[in-house]
Amino acid sequence: MRWYLLQDKYALRCHDRALTPEASWQFLAAAPVGRLGLAATDGSPYIVPLNHVVCGHEIFFHCAGKGRKLELLRANPQVCYEVDSQLGTKTGPRACDFGTYYKSVIAFGQAYEVDDNEKKAEILNRLVQKHAPSGHSFEPATAVDAASVAIIGIRVETLTGKSRPYIT
């Protein structure tokens, strides 16, 4: 039920630019970097760029076992996560004719800490597989290795994507 309430709350204004849910998940999964949006207890915003990996319909990232990001997540697990790509610039004879060709996705959901070290190791290995240069081999992380870092998951409750592609 909450999914539909959030979908309505975060509905896109420009429906003609909406990405399908499948295209939104694909773009999110392929994006190398995203930005995590958090709210401090005083209401001030905090945004941090992160590497991530998508597993199922959840987003995962790793971080140190302490710090501002974790403090904010523990105080308020409601987050958003954004990825985008600027595809080009639309030009014209007047300033008002200019625009941007882009693709973007925003996920809203609840963050949580992954406690199981075996699962943390699996996610760390997926992160490395995603971000390692093609053909680069590595020794996989173990549960012992994973115990030294925090892995955060985001249970995505709603996902919106939009695009303004080149028109040829």
DSSP assignments along 64-130, one per residue: -SSSHHHHHHHH--EEEEEEEEEEEEE--SSGGG-EEEEEEEEEEEEEEE---HHHHHHHHHHHHHH
CA-closest candidate to residue 53, choices 36, 30, 80, 77: 30
68-99 residue pLDDT tens: 999 999 999 999 999 999 888 889 999 998 98
pLDDT band at 6 (very low <50, low <70, confident <90, very high): very low
Which residues neighbour 89 within 8 Å (Cβ) at sequence distance 6 or greater?
98, 99, 100, 101
One-letter amino acid for residue 128 of the chain: V
Tell me, what's the pLDDT at 8? 55
Q: How many residues does the chain have?
A: 168
Which residues neighbour 63 within 8 Å (Cβ) at sequence distance 6 or greater?
50, 69, 70, 149, 150, 152
Beta bridge partners of 45: 39
29-52 residue pLDDT tens: 999 999 999 999 899 999 999 999
* pLDDT above 60 (res 116): yes
